[in-house]
């Protein structure tokens, strides 16, 4: 039998979204860096992010206001230190992005800002109208490709990670081009694999969002935190035969309104912020209106806005909806909530350190407490940028022996060259072009998968926007009854399903343990805050039950 490929580098980064790429750029100052992406570069959740990136950069804004808005949206569960770091350091990293060639939209020579739900100021930067994530991803990939110390490997699916008390980290990944498993040994590794939305029946997440980093870290012994907090985006496209394509909150920020099946505007009855209320409020209001009117969707109405402005401001959304027979400038758009973002993840400190030595996490895979119980719109790209850089710095500082490391590629050749990018095309190097649609919940090549369908059905019915004890208990029982074991063969899809099953059990258990309603977690049997017991974070490890601390 052929020996598995063995790779030795200073640092490994698993994931190639904004957090992973920004960390890799930082880590290159300290030695050789291997970046593993399970798909092609430019296919991350970052690349399909529409709305924008928030920062207090305009003359009418203040960092303290961004801080207040973030904490208010987090519904009493934000880590104030994490929030302060986010809003204080965010502007400098955005200016850095601009210096690296990121083309944010402008009005004349000035940056253009828009407003989204729960923001008190217009502070959302966007690019190509509604392709902000694509532009940021393009710029970071281009920057990383200029750095000799960075090797970027696509189609490399991480299966296992382990840390040693003696120092150092090992991980195994499946090279999908060769079908073989390789082993990487490094001083430290960063997990930056994004979210877990694909375990729900309807999600705005890309096909790659299967919770791999959370599951890999959890199996290795790292703690997960706040896993009960799953944010549902209020407005995903609900047209017949259409995937749940995300319709950016910026549509409502620009004046779009929500109407029920009887064409009545309803959000002013639920919250003083109306369509710009926090996402959890809007999602629950939509569910309530759907039940009240016995409909499977509500409408997002942009017909009162200027037609040419809408086409220019939201070109990707306009073109995607048009393929499903909907002209968003003239037709009302059928929408309903879909799983969107995980506030929880691997428990970390403000430098990305998990509870396991040598293993770090940043971006959606991590739980720094910056989002609390409900993420403020357009803070996710900012979090990846800020905490990706902070994690990179900490990884170097925590392993001083890496200074002066040999500047040579992981396999002895110069990293960052074309030979390390066998699928290096305009798509993989630059990301998807503006105007391309978000990945559907079920990928175009996905075959029927009864086990995954069952997991999705359980979560959709019992662990959705509205929750209660009986439903959550049934979910746990049904998930426990699913016959799942760790795959014996290195098959990516088998591992993805195994990862989603493991995380689904943690989400359901965490939701049952939190006997209150807060942010995105709403218990109809406990409809109010219980600050005495639950103004704290849930924590789960592989060895024990859910605890709060």
CA atoms of 534 and 268, how far apart (whole Å): 30
Q: Among residues 25, 154, 125, which one has the least CA distance to residue 431?
A: 154
The CA radius of gyration of the chain, in Å to the nearest whole number, is 22
Q: Which residues pair with 48 in a beta bridge?
A: none
Handedness of CA 363, 157, 494, 440 (dihedral sign): positive
Handedness of CA 128, 132, 134, 140 (dihedral sign): positive
Residue 252 falls in the annotated catalytic set = no
Q: Which of 138, 187, 252, 279 is catalytic?
A: 279
Cβ(226)–Cβ(396) below 8 Å: no
Structure-token pair, residue 145? 């490709």
Cβ(19)–Cβ(370) below 8 Å: no
Neighbouring C-beta atoms of residue 470, cutoff 10 Å: 10
Q: Among residues 87, 51, 54, which one has the least CA distance to residue 68?
A: 87
Q: What are the DSSP calls for 478-531, one per residue?
A: HHHHS-----SS--HHHHHHHHHHHHHHHHHHHHHH--S-BTTBEETTB-S--H
Cβ(315)–Cβ(129) below 8 Å: yes
Residues sharing a CB contact under 8 Å with residue 232, sequence separation 6 or more, in sequence order: 279, 280, 283, 337, 338, 339, 340, 464, 465, 520
Instruction: Write the DSSP symbol of residue 401.
Output: G
Neighbouring C-beta atoms of residue 88, cutoff 10 Å: 15
Owner of token pair 């109208």: 129
Owner of token pair 């939201």: 314
CA atoms of 103 and 139, how far apart (whole Å): 9
Residues assigned a catalytic role: 279
């Amino acid at each position: 039998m052929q020996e598995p490929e063995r790779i030795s580098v200073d640092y490994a980064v698993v994931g190639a979204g904004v957090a992973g790429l920004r960390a890799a750029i930082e880590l290159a100052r300290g030695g050789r860096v291997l970046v593993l992406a399970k798909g092609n570069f430019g296919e991350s959740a970052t690349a399909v992010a529409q709305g924008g990136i928030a920062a207090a950069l305009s003359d009418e804004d203040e960092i303290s206001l961004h801080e207040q808005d973030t904490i208010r949206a987090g519904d009493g569960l934000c880590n104030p230190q994490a929030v302060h770091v986010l809003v204080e350091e965010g502007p400098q990293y955005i200016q850095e992005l601009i210096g690296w060639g990121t083309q944010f939209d402008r009005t004349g020579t000035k940056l253009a800002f828009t407003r989204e739900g729960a923001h008190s100021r217009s502070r959302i930067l966007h690019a190509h109208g509604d392709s902000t994530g694509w532009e940021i991803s393009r710029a970071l990939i281009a920057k990383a490709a200029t750095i000799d110390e960075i090797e970027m490997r696509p189609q490399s699916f991480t299966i296992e990670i382990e840390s040693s008390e003696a120092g150092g980290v090992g991980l195994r990944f499946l090279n999908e081009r060769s079908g073989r498993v390789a082993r990487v040994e490094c001083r430290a590794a960063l997990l930056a694999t994004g979210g877990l939305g694909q375990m729900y029946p309807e999600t705005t997440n890309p096909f790659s969002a299967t919770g791999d980093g959370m599951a890999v870290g959890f199996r290795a012994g790292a703690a997960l935190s706040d896993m009960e907090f799953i944010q549902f985006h209020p407005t995903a496209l609900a047209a017949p035969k259409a995937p749940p394509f995300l319709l950016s909150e910026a549509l409502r920020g620009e004046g779009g309104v929500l109407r029920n099946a009887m064409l009545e505007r309803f959000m002013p009855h639920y919250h003083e912020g109306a369509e710009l209320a926090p996402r959890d409020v809007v999602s629950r209001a939509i569910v309530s209106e759907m039940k009240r009117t016995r409909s499977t969707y509500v409408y997002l109405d942009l017909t009162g806005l200027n037609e040419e402005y809408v086409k220019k401001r939201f070109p990707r959304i306009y073109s995607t909806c048009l393929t499903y027979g909907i002209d968003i400038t003239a037709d009302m758009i059928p929408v309903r909530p879909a799983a969107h973002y995980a506030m929880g993840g691997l428990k970390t400190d403000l430098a990305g350190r998990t509870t396991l030595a040598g293993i770090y996490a940043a971006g959606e895979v991590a739980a720094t407490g910056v989002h609390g119980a409900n993420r403020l719109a357009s803070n996710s790209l900012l979090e990846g940028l800020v905490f990706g850089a902070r994690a990179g710095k900490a990884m170097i500082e925590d392993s001083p022996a890496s200074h002066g490391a040999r500047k040579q590629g992981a396999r002895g050749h110069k990293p960052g060259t074309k030979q390390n990018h066998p699928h290096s095309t305009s798509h993989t190097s630059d990301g998807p072009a503006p105007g391309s649609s978000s990945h559907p919940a079920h990928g175009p090549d996905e075959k029927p998968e009864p086990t995954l369908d069952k997991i999705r059905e359980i979560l959709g019915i019992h662990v959705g926007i509205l929750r209660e004890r009986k439903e959550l208990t049934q979910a746990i029982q049904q998930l426990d009854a699913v016959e799942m074991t760790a795959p014996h063969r290195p098959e990516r899809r088998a591992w993805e399903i195994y990862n989603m099953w493991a995380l689904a059990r943690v989400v359901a258990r965490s939701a049952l343990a939190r006997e209150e309603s807060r942010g995105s977690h709403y218990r109809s049997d406990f409809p109010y805050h219980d600050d005495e017991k639950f103004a704290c974070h849930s924590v789960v490890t592989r060895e024990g039950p859910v605890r709060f601390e």
